Chains A and B, each alone.
Chain A
Amino acid sequence: MTTTTPVPHSRHRTAGRPSARAGRAGGQHRAGPLAHIVLGLAALASLFPLYWTLVAASTDSHAVVSSPPPMLPGGNLFKNLTYVWHNAGGRGMGVALLNSTLVAGAVTVSTVTFSVLAGFAFAKLRFRGMKVLLGLVLSTLAVPAQLSVVPLFILTKNLGLSNHLGALILPVLVTAFGVFFMRQFLSQALPTELLEAARVDGANSLRVIWHVVFPIARPAMAVLGMLTFVQSWNDFLWPIIVMNGSTNPTVQVALAGLGTGWSTDWSVITAGALMGTLPLLLVFALFGRHVVGGITQGAVKG
């Protein structure tokens, strides 16, 4: 919240290994041309389908399936995007984008908040049953949501939440991954002395959390937030069950509708895919470095 808040050099501590700074193991070697070529090809393979989505979305129904395939953008991009914007899923892609933003935003805010709180408790507080509870959190990491969709469907119906975005938000208000991620981060990054000092100042728990824990957790919150947002935005199975064919879809549901027989035209379908992906690619262009860093941080704990 304020720049004066103390933030330790958490980036380096999070790797979970004291020797992390000794890294760059192979980095001493300069890569040869072969390595550059291979990596360049890999980058090309990664980016080409995205580029081609743009190309396909800018053609028309005939050109997009012509042989040889078009390799340069045509002139219909705006037309196709406009069409999808107004027509996909009945009320247009605009509704879907708004819905996805709301869902992913709410899930992100709530997951990050609750993960910091629980992560802090598991990292720095002592309480009876902590080990058992932490073990429980860990064991739920491996339980996929897929196993629960049938009762969730019934539950949603009985709660009157069908076709309501709440049905997409409630089940993922906080995840085991988030809690564990934050616990790992805070147990490294949050100095116990700082907590004690705050306590000596007479701060109660709420104030400690607000003034010490949150500021220190900030870099990890950004990372967890980004990962959660991407995951929520791209969630598929559960939305396709509660929202299939709905006039109130998320982006993924609208795209699924496009792909399973809503449209007649590949250029329109790819325009939808493009529109549904652009927001995330934009986020990536802006914060890509954080995500890259975040993934690497989150991973090493494994």
Chain B
Amino acid sequence: MSRLSLPRARSGSAALVSAVAALALALTGCSSDEGSASADGKITLTVGTFGTFGYKEAGLYDAYMKQNPGITIKENPTTVEGNYWTALQTRLSGGGLDDVQALEVARISLATSEDLADAFVDLSDAPGVDKKDYLPWKWDQATTADGRTIGLGTDVGPMAICYRQDLFKAAGLPSDPESVGKLWAGDWAKFVEVGKQYQAKAPKGTAFMDSASGLFNAVVSSSPVQYYKDGKLAYKDSASVRTAWDLAVKAVQGKTSQGLKMFDTPWQTAFSKSTFATTVCPSWQQANVQQFSGPGNKGKWNIAQPPAAGNWGGSFLAVPASGKHVDEAKKLVAWLTAPEQQAKVFQKVGNIPANQAAYDLPGVVGYKNAYIGPDAATGLIFSTAAKSIKPAETGPRAGDLTGAFSTGVLLMEQNGKTPEEAWNATVRQIDSTIQ
């Protein structure tokens, strides 16, 4: 029992060696290989996005890979921008970024600030990029104090209202875009009033709007002064924030909102269940309307002019400086944001280009959306609105503020808080996160 024979000893040490080797292999072999060139010289570029950028849908990745056989593109999508940003800021600090990262307009001020600007490369010298092509204010938003442009505009968010023709009809309201637009022309307060009319004769189980936080955002977005003034955080004195808040309160109290958390899964489900009649439609929202409502609801949505014009959202593509293939990534970003490609994205999912040269291409202004309307003249509606956008001042915490106010409205809708409690909670939230 106690005698240990030699052969066993050898097999034993062999096993030990193999175990250690396996461990070493596991430790070293598991390095992330994304973005690195593989044995056959192919390069993989990863593109981190949120919401729907439409590149995959429009077949642009495939087209680019065909043109550049050495490149493979992988998209790393997140639906909700808030979650995307939380993950992104951690990786901006720690590392492990995608080769291309999308940035929402509410984050662009922070991304161009001295805290983060160095994490991204200058794209103004990317091959084929022409400053004149882009909407000037969009270009300026992504340019740092020392003149580096770290993001190229993909789309802007001119607003319209998407509404359900069938539900409007059932509630005894007009249903053609022109008459619908007239119902609330010029004033968001009228929009809330129409909501009350709708609710009085609403089909059972439906609400006029999806979310009062959507209304809040839309009202703020249609004002030239929002959360920042003269480089300072000024939301407490902002007239647009106050107006938007009061209207949201009215919408909640009039029970005209379904009280959903925008972009959350129940919100997405509600599209397919046809439980609300309107949603604020910045151009990028069309993709959501179509995707979440599903083929079964084709032709039921239509689009009308908003009470007041404004810009909600829109994005940029940026290239992190830490990437392994910065030059290839710059090339890809320049190509994706070029007029021809933006036009294709618009035709496929509805995001209106930030590249104004795209408006002159055939098939943009004249584009009609087969799902919405059907054949609503979305090209004309959104390109006209896009050109007239007067950008509001933004600031580093704009994204957090948008999030905090959406949550604040939700506190009334979902958690039964009084308007005053909800307002105080919102202020407390903002004060506690800005050090």
Residues of A within 8 A of B (CB): 1-2, 5-6, 61-62, 65, 89-91, 99, 102-103, 105-106, 109-110, 113, 153, 156-157, 160, 162-166, 169, 194, 197-198, 200-201, 203, 207, 210-212, 214, 241-248, 257, 260-266, 269
Contact = CB atoms under 8 A, between A and B. Distances in A.
B204 interface: no
Contacts of A103: 30
Contacts of A169: 26-27, 30
A111 B16 CA distance: 14
A264 B82 CA distance: 15
B94 A153 contact: yes
A113 B20 CA distance: 10
B137 interface: no
Nearest to B90: A244
A1 B15 contact: yes
A166 B12 contact: no
A183 B285 CA distance: 61
A241 B2 CA distance: 50
A201 B263 contact: no
The A contact surface, by secondary structure, is helix
Contacts of A166: 27, 30-31
State which size class the interface on B falls in.
35 or more
Given A157-B93, A163-B94, 9 more contacts: A1-B8, A65-B269, A105-B26, A160-B95, A162-B91, A164-B96, A197-B1, A245-B83, A266-B269
A264 B32 CA distance: 28
A163 B32 CA distance: 7
B19 A109 contact: yes
Contact of B26 (A106, A248, A264): A106
A266 B268 CA distance: 10
Contact of A1 (B11, B32, B48): B11
A260 B269 CA distance: 15
Contact of B272 (A62, A106, A269): A62
Given A245-B87, A266-B265, A165 B95 contact: no
A109 B23 contact: yes
A211 B11 CA distance: 11
B77 interface: yes
A153 B92 CA distance: 12
Nearest to B79: A261
Nearest to B81: A261
B34 interface: yes
B78 interface: yes
Shortest beta-carbon contacts, A-B, top 3: A163-B96, A245-B87, A90-B76
B94 A156 contact: yes
Contacts of A207: 4, 9
B77 A262 contact: yes
B206 interface: no
Given A110-B23, A169-B26, A247-B74, A164 B31 contact: yes
Contact of A245 (B16, B34, B48): B48
B83 A197 contact: no
Contact of B29 (A102, A157, A269): A102
Contact of B11 (A2, A99, A212, A265): A2
B8 A2 contact: yes
Interface string B164-189: 00000000000000000000000000
B435 interface: no
A165 B96 CA distance: 11
Contact of B95 (A90, A157, A261): A157
B281 interface: no
Contact of B2 (A102, A194, A248): A194
